[in-house]
Structure 1
Amino acid sequence: MALNDYNTNTYTGIIDVPREETSSLLAKVLAITSFGFFVTALGVATAPPWGTFVGFIVVLGLVFAINFTRKANPAVALGLFLTLTYFMGWEIGPLIQRYIHNFGSGIVFNAAATTGAGMAVMGCVAYLFNINYRRIAGIGFAALLLLIIAGIASMFFHFLSPDTYSWLTLGIFGLLTVGDFARIRAGGDGRSAVSLSLSIYLDAINIFLAVLQLMGGRRRN
């Protein structure tokens, strides 16, 4: 989508919106996402040992619910998002607790700090350059589907090591993160702050888990 009010690149999906016009949207997205991570930490702290499957089912359902209500009722969508972030804590909590038990809490802190620094760098890249976020989203989604298929196949044929899978996950979600920040830079493409926050949040969670796996693999070796 191109806007005639601004100097734009001719490629669809690259919109040169003045930064001051998207700073408010970016601030809302970062505030919602940051609070979501705080709620996730509470979810991790209270996650039962059997919480992974329950958390996964609830999170999956809430993703669809948020996409359904994001425009009709933003307040309800925000409540659903925060509920999702809590149950995401249930989903990943048992895994994180195992890492803490095996390697100490430092590995989780280092993975979180690395993820935060990486997200900041990718956000800066998206804001410094005009990026075709639609093209990146298309490439990233296709790559993600291939990774999921490869991961399922590898369960039977064992051609992907956990570290290789984690590196591929980092690359794909890094690309998607740049695209999501570029979408915010372009004015959001009609999406609400909650919907944009959900995308950034899920990017960060997947990057965090990949970094945690790589750090754990290095310590095991």
Structure 2
Amino acid sequence: MNAERTLRTSRAQTALATNSVLRNTYMLLSLTLLFSAVVAGTAMALNAPHPGLIITLVGYFGLLFAVEKTKNSAMGLVSVFALTGFMGYTIGPILNLYINNFSNGTEIVMLALGGTGTIFLGMSAYALASGKRFNQWAGMLFMGILVAFVMSIIAVVFSIPALSMAVSALFVLLMSGLIVYQTGEIVHGGETNYITATVTLFVTIYNLFLSLLQLLGVFMGEE
């Protein structure tokens, strides 16, 4: 009897902890997306230049390292907003490029934004409704993202448009899978740190948006 009661208590505590991580993750994700959008809008208004590939990579990985080192303290929140703000800044000049170079640039941006939101909500809903844990996807997603990242660097350095398009399409698939995987990990207790979960989902949304933006620009862009 005592063992059964202990088991029930343990399950209840686990469920409460999981709900707390999920709630805190979505709350922080909403705030970081809003903050990133404000920074991106400011960069657009100021017509700020893009920092370039090297500074972007150094800034991203440096701030990502800071998040990892501080994720269990209050400074973790500062690191998260520093990272997401920086990433928002890098988006601003890209959006200006599309809006200024395409007569339907604003439409392309809005479609990419809508597509990103639809995919995120759809994949999250699937992960929540399925009741499954998708931890078996981890290795495949990691290798896929690593390959896509290397390919994207090659496409930029050697200016290969076809490869860049292929990478964007691959990223859309990988980021969709990562949303399902990360949400499943949160729900089933595989991810217990809401700061880490938030950063993973934010980066996923960031890459998904830019990938859709590039694909839509290629297929729909009107000069």
The reply to whether TM is greater than 0.5 is yes
**1:109-133: CA deviation from partner (whole Å, max 9, x where unpaired):** 2211211111011111111224343
Structure 1 residues 217 and 19, CA, compared in 2 at 3 Å: closer, same or farther? Answer: farther
Q: Percent identity?
A: 26
Spell out the pairing of 1:89-108 with structure 2 (5 A cutoff).
89-101=88-100, 102=102, 103-108=104-109
Letter of the 1:135 counterpart: Q
How many residues align structurally? 206
Q: CA deviation at 1:21?
A: 5.6
**Partner residue, 1:66:** 67
**Partner residue, 1:49:** 49
- Contact 1:55/1:91 (CA < 8 Å) preserved in 2? yes
1:38 pairs, out of 34, 40, 50, with 34
SS in 2 for 1:189: coil
**Partner residue, 2:132:** 131
Q: CA deviation at 1:220?
A: 3.0
Which structure: larger Rg?
2
**Partner residue, 1:145:** 146
Q: Distance in 2 between matches of 1:96 and 1:111?
A: 11
Moved more, 156-165 or 114-123: 156-165
Structure 2, unaligned runs of 5 or more:
1-6
Q: TM-score, normalised by structure 2?
A: 0.81
Q: Distance in 2 between matches of 1:145 and 1:157?
A: 20
Structure 1 residues 111 and 83, CA, compared in 2 at 3 Å: closer, same or farther? Answer: same
Asked if residue 28 in structure 1 is aligned to residue 28 in structure 2, the reply is no
1:180 pairs, out of 179, 182, 190, with 182
**1:35-87: CA deviation from partner (whole Å, max 9, x where unpaired):** 1111111221233214345454323211011111112x1x2101110111111
Q: Distance in 2 between matches of 1:115 and 1:132?
A: 23
Q: Distance in 2 between matches of 1:176 and 1:121?
A: 13
**Partner residue, 1:11:** none
Give the RMSD, CA atoms, in angstroms. 2.7
